[in-house]
Amino acid sequence: MNKHACVLLYVASLSWAADAPAQTSSIGVKERAANAAKPLPFEGRETVMRPRNLIYERYGWTAATPAPPKTFKLGDLITIIVREQRKWEADADLETKSKYDVKSTLDAFVKPTEGGLGAAEFRRGVPNIDYKFNQKLKNEGDSSREDKLTTRITGTIIDVKPNGLLVIEARAKVIHDEEKSEITLTGMCRKEDVTADNTVLSTQIADKEVAINNKGALRKASSRGWIPKLVDLLKPF
């Protein structure tokens, strides 16, 4: 066999190998089928946290070292931004009707006699009772009230819970001429809700209790006297 015949035979064998179907084992088929049935792994969109480079954070020009979380202790001051708004409306209607009709006649009565008991005679006619009573009561009530309170008040941390919640108590007293106003606010908030300027919104305080006590001429002018209070307490009508 010459050199040209060997080359042609080698080329023919390569073309036959390319056209022949690939041979696969049964184990490989089972593995591919099992992998196809498995769900694809979920890739989250959040950025993977990389380890910190302490040398770069210390000597780098553009490095910014994250600030450590702020800690609180008893006696620290926190400013509370109070923004409270309440609107209350109520309507009530009451209508009652009462009617009584009583009729009674006494035909005979017991009378003691010498021999025992007997029937008494009515010299002025038979006593009777004829009573009628009609009552109709209709009451209507309408009440509407809207309160707003916007202020800043600084409170003191009086307790730190084991889970990190801060218990705050704030008091303020304002005196202007003859008017005196006292505000007391208590509640709990998370330390994460305290901003960088050491403030927290009143809407982020749990178990919140706000008490406002006003004294002075304006309070006396807008309050009811003891007679209206007594009438409302007894409710004669």
Closest among 208, 212, 213, 196 to 79, alpha carbons compared: 196
pLDDT tens column, 32-52: 777 766 666 555 454 555 666
Q: How confident is the model at residue 107 (pLDDT cuts 50, 70, 90)?
A: confident
For the chain, domain boundaries: 77-88+144-234, 93-142
Closest among 157, 148, 152, 149 to 189, alpha carbons compared: 157
Lowest model confidence (mean pLDDT) among 19-23, 177-181, 229-233: 19-23
Q: How confident is the model at residue 13 (pLDDT cuts 50, 70, 90)?
A: low
- If you average pLDDT over residues 20-30, what whole number do you get? 56
A 10 A CB-CB count for 157 gives: 18
Entry pTM: 0.49
CA angle 50, 54, 56 (to 5 degrees): 90
**pLDDT score, position 20:** 44
Half-sphere exposure of 168 (CA within 13 A, CB side): 35
Lowest model confidence (mean pLDDT) among 57-61, 113-117, 123-127, 170-174: 57-61
- 155 or 95, higher pLDDT: 155
**Whether 120 contacts 131, CB under 8 Å:** no
Q: Give the position of tokens 């009583």.
A: 102
**Whether 150 contacts 187, CB under 8 Å:** no
User: Residue 111 contacts by C-beta under 8 Å, 6 or more apart in sequence?
Assistant: 117, 118, 119, 120, 121
Q: Is it the case that residue 171 has pLDDT exceeding 60? A: yes
**pLDDT score, position 77:** 94
